[in-house]
């Protein structure tokens, strides 16, 4: 919490709301954070608390991997370039969201099969929203999240 407080300027209009939401959502002061490039603003601005993001580690054959499911707990639709710079030594990721990680054991190619994408699909660091119709066999977004948690969570059964 202090790190965020120290790296968002006092003059930022959303500093106090951000700190208040972090304190409310993460009473333990432990959370994960991810940043998204300003170029993804049209998609990231539609992100809401309660949405889920998948973090992709690699899309290369044979060991493409998606290690993290991220339920968004705090997101303010405002840019935080100073916080981005403090976290990643680049202000290129100013849209920042906060979450607790659900560790996954999900290969990139399993994911492609789940959503019906071709093997050569490569997001190259971009943010995409999956069309809900691609998740119809899982019952939509909620069903897919349940499937991931039940079948691909490293914490299955705990």
Dihedral, CA of residue 31, residue 36, residue 40 and residue 45, to nearest 10: 30
156 lies in some domain: no
Mean pLDDT in residue range 73-80: 96
Question: In the predicted model, what is the mean pLDDT of the chain?
Answer: 92
pLDDT above 70 covers a percentage of the chain that reads 98
Query: What pLDDT shows up at residue 51?
Result: 95
pLDDT digits (tens, 9 = 90+) for 84-99: 999 999 999 999 999 9
Query: What pLDDT shows up at residue 109?
Result: 94
55: tokens are 């973090």
Looking at residue 18, what DSSP letter applies?
H
Task: State how many domains the chain has.
Answer: 1
Could you give the CA distance from residue 94 to residue 85 in angstroms, rounded to a whole number?
A: 8
Q: 133 is in which domain, residue-wise?
A: 2-151
158 lies in some domain: no
157 lies in some domain: no
Could you give the CA distance from residue 13 to residue 8 in angstroms, rounded to a whole number?
A: 10
108 lies in some domain: yes
Query: What pLDDT shows up at residue 157?
Result: 46
Write the CATH number for 26: 3.10.590
Could you give the CA distance from residue 157 to residue 150 in angstroms, rounded to a whole number?
A: 8
Mean pLDDT in residue range 52-73: 92
pLDDT at 125 over 60: yes
Name the more confident of 105 and 158: 105
pLDDT digits (tens, 9 = 90+) for 1-41: 899 999 999 999 999 999 999 999 999 999 999 998 888 87
């Amino acid at each position: 919490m202090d790190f965020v407080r120290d790296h968002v300027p006092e003059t930022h209009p959303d500093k106090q709301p951000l700190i208040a939401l972090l304190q409310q959502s993460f009473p333990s002061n432990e959370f994960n954070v991810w940043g998204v490039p300003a170029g993804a603003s049209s998609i990231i601005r539609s992100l809401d608390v309660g949405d889920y993001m998948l973090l992709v580690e690699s899309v290369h054959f044979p060991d493409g991997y998606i290690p993290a499911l991220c339920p968004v707990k705090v997101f303010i639709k405002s840019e935080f370039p100073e916080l981005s710079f403090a976290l990643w030594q680049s202000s290129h990721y100013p849209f920042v969201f906060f979450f607790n990680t659900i560790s996954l054991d999900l290969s990139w190619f399993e994911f492609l099969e789940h959503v019906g994408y071709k093997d050569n699909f490569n997001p190259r660091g971009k943010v995409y929203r999956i069309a809900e119709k691609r998740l119809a066999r899982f019952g939509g977004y909620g069903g897919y999240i349940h499937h991931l948690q039940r079948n691909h969570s490293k914490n299955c059964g705990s």
